[in-house]
Structure 1
Amino acid sequence: MKSQLETSSNTFFGFRSKLQKIDLKTSAIDEVKVRLNRTNKLFGSFGETLVIFHEPGTALGQFIVNFQNELLNYFTKAVQNLESKQFVSEKEESAQPTFFAPITNPHTTIAALRVIDSYDENSWNNCLVQSYLYTKLMQYPPKNEEIEIIERCKLLILDNRNLDNVLNELPPALLRKILRIEDEDTDVLHFIKSQSHSSLINTTAEQSIVNQILNNPSIELEMESISLNANGSLGIKWKLNEQILDLRESLIQIGAIAKHGSQVLTTTIGYFPNCSEDYRNEIKQVLQNIILKVESGYDCTPKFLLNLYELQLVQFSRNDLHPNYIKKTLFLEQQHISNIIQQQEFPGNDFPKKALL
Structure 2
Amino acid sequence: MKSLLETGSNTFFVLNSQLQKIALKTTAIDENKVSINRTNKLFGSFGETLVIFHEAGSALGQFIINFQNELLNHFPKAIQNLEAQQFISENNERIGPTSFAPITNLHTTIAALRVIDSYDENSWNNCLMQSYLYAKLTQYQPEMEEIEIIELSKIMLLDNMDLDKVLNTLAPTLSRKILGIEDEATDILHFVKIQCHTSLLSDTVEQSLVAQIQKKPIVELELESISLNTNGSLGIRWKLNEQIMDLRGALSQIGGIAKHGAQVLTTTIGYFPYCSEHCRDEIKQVLQEIISKVESAENCPPKFLLNLTDLQLVQFSRNDLHQNFIKKTLFLDQQHISNMIQQQEFPGKRLSH
Shared fold (TM-score, shorter chain, > 0.5): yes
Change (3 A) 1:147 1:279: farther
* 8 Å CA contact retained: 2:232, 2:273: yes
Question: C-alpha distance in 2, partners of 1:43/1:134?
Answer: 25
SS at match of 1:282: helix
Instruction: Tell me the SS of whatever aligns to 1:129.
Output: helix
Deviation of residue 148 (structure 1)? 4.7
Distance 1:350 1:303, change over 3 A: same
The more displaced of 153-162 and 326-335 is 153-162
Identity %: 74
Verify: 1:217 aligned to 2:217, yes or no. Answer: yes
More displaced stretch, 300-309 vs 108-117: 108-117
Q: Structure 1 352/158 Cα, relative in aligned 2: closer, same or farther at 3 Å? A: farther
Shift of 1:165: 4.2
For the aligned residues, what is the CA RMSD? 2.1
Deviations 1:196-244 (A, max 9, x none): 1111211111111111111111111111211111111001111112222
What does residue 44 of structure 1 align with?
44
1:159 aligned partner, one-letter code: D
Q: Aligned residue for 1:270?
A: 270
Name the structure 1 match of 2:241. 241
Q: SS at the partner of 2:337? A: helix
Cα pair distance change 1:248/1:88, threshold 3 Å: same
Q: How does 1:6-85 map to 2 (within 5 A)?
A: 6-85=6-85
What is the rounded CA distance, in whole Å, between the counterparts of 1:241 and 1:125 in structure 2?
34
Q: Distance in 2 between matches of 1:246 and 1:52?
A: 16
Residue 98 of structure 2 aligns with which residue?
Answer: 98
CA distance in 1, matches of 2:132, 2:264: 22
How far 1:42 moved relative to its partner?
0.8
Alpha-carbon separation, structure 2, partners of 1:172 and 1:204? 28
Aligned to 1:179: 179
Say which is worse superposed, 119-128 or 27-36, in terms of deviation. Answer: 119-128
Find the counterpart in structure 1 of residue 293 from structure 2.
293
CA contact (8 A) 2:44 2:347 kept: no
- Asked whether the equivalents of residues 103 and 321 of structure 2 are also in contact (C-alpha less than 8 Å), the reply is no
Separation in 1 of the partners of 2:241 and 2:346?
Answer: 40
Equivalent-residue separation in structure 2 for 1:61 and 1:146 (angstroms):
49
Residues 188, 271 of structure 1: alpha-carbon distance in 2 compared, 3 angstrom cutoff: same
Matching residue's letter, 2:280: R
Aligned-partner residue type, residue 181 of structure 2: I
Change (3 A) 1:40 1:246: same
Provide the TM-score with structure 2 as the length reference.
Answer: 0.93
Q: What is the rounded CA distance, in whole Å, between the counterparts of 2:146 and 2:305 in structure 1?
A: 41
Alpha-carbon distance between aligned partners in 2 of 1:114 and 1:212, rounded to the nearest angstrom: 21
Q: 1:142 to 1:218 in 2, by over 3 A?
A: farther
